[in-house]
A = this chain, B = another copy of it.
Amino acid sequence: MENEVTIRIGGESGEGTISGGDILALASARWGYHVFTFRTFPAEILGGPCMFQVRISDRPVKSMGDYADVLVCLNKEAYDRNIRDLRRGGVLVYDPGDFTPESDDFITYAVPFNELARKEVQLFQTKNMVMLGAIAGLFGPPLEALLQVVESRLSKSRKANPILMEKNRLALDIAYRYVREKIDKRDPYQLGPVEKADRVVLNGNQAVVAGALAAGCGFFAGYPITPASDIMEAMAKELPQVGGTFLQAEDEMAALAAVLGASFGGVRAMTATSGPGFSLMTELIGLASMAELPAVIVDAQRAGPSTGMPTKMEQADLSFALYGGHGDTPRMIVAPANVADCYTLMGLAFNMADRYQMPVIFLTDQSLTARVESVDRSVFRPFTIEGRLEYGKANSNGANGANGASNNGKHETAAALAASFARYAYTASGISPMTIPGPGAIPYSATGLEHNEHGHPDYEPEDHTAMMQKRFRKLETAAQELPQPEPYGDREAEIGLIGWGSTEGAIQEAVDRARAKGYKVASLHLRILSPLPDRAIRDFISSVKTIIVPECNYSGQLANLLGARYGLQPIRVNKFGGIPFTAGEILRAIEEVC
A residues near B, CB below 8 A? 43, 274-276, 278-280, 282-283, 286-287, 289-291, 299, 301, 303-309, 311-312, 314, 316-317, 319-320, 322-329, 447-450, 457, 459, 461-462, 464-465, 468-469, 472, 553-555, 557, 559-561, 563-569, 576-579
Known interface pairs A324-B324, A567-B567; 11 further A-B residue pairs with C-beta atoms within 8 A, sorted by A's residue number: A275-B326, A276-B286, A278-B326, A304-B329, A305-B329, A309-B464, A314-B327, A319-B323, A322-B323, A464-B578, A472-B555
Q: Bound state CA distance, A459 and B459, in angstroms?
A: 49
Nearest-neighbor residue (CB-CB) of A330 within chain B: B305
Residues of B within 8 A of A464 (CB): 303, 309, 312, 576-578
B contact residues around A304 at 8 Å (CB): 286, 290, 325-329
Contacts of A447 in B (CB 8 A): 307
A275's partner among B280, B327, B553 (CB-CB below 8 A) is B327
Which of chain B's residues has its CB closest to A554's CB?
B328
Q: Which of B278, B290, B312 contacts A305 (CB 8 A)?
A: B290
Instruction: For the complex, give the distance between the alpha carbons of A303 and B557 in Å.
Output: 26
B279 x A326 contact (CB < 8 A) = yes
Tell me which residues across on chain B come within 8 A of A274, comparing CB atoms: 326
CB neighbours of A461 from chain B (8 A): 577-579
Contact of B450 with A308 in the complex, beta carbons under 8 Å = yes
Q: Are B459 and A309 interface neighbours, CB within 8 A?
A: yes
Q: Please give, as numbers and ranges, the residues of chain B lying within 8 Å of A43 by CB-CB distance.
A: 457, 459
| Bound complex: CA A48 to CA B444 (Å) | 25
- State A308–B299 Cα separation when bound (angstroms): 26
Task: Report how far A322 CA is from B309 CA in the complex, Å.
Answer: 22
Name which residue of chain B comes closest to A253, CB basis. Answer: B280
Assembly CA distance A283 to B276 (angstroms)? 6
A and B contact pairs by CB, cutoff 8 A, 8 listed: A279-B326, A305-B327, A308-B450, A309-B459, A472-B554, A561-B564, A563-B564, A564-B564
- Inter-chain CA distance A274–B286, complex, in Å, is 14
Shortest CB distance A414–B (Å): 27
How far is the CB of A498 from the nearest CB of chain B, in Å? Answer: 14
Which B residues are in CB contact (< 8 Å) with A317? Answer: 326-327
Question: Given A312-B459, A464-B577, A279 and B564 touching (CB < 8 A)?
Answer: no
Closest residue of B by beta carbon distance from A40:
B459
The CA of A309 and the CA of B448, in the complex, are separated in Å by 9
A177 CA / B336 CA spacing, docked (Å):
77
On chain B, the residues within 8 Å of A309 by CB distance are: 449-450, 459, 464
CA distance A324 to B465 in the complex (A): 24
Asked if A305 contacts B323 (CB within 8 A), the reply is: no
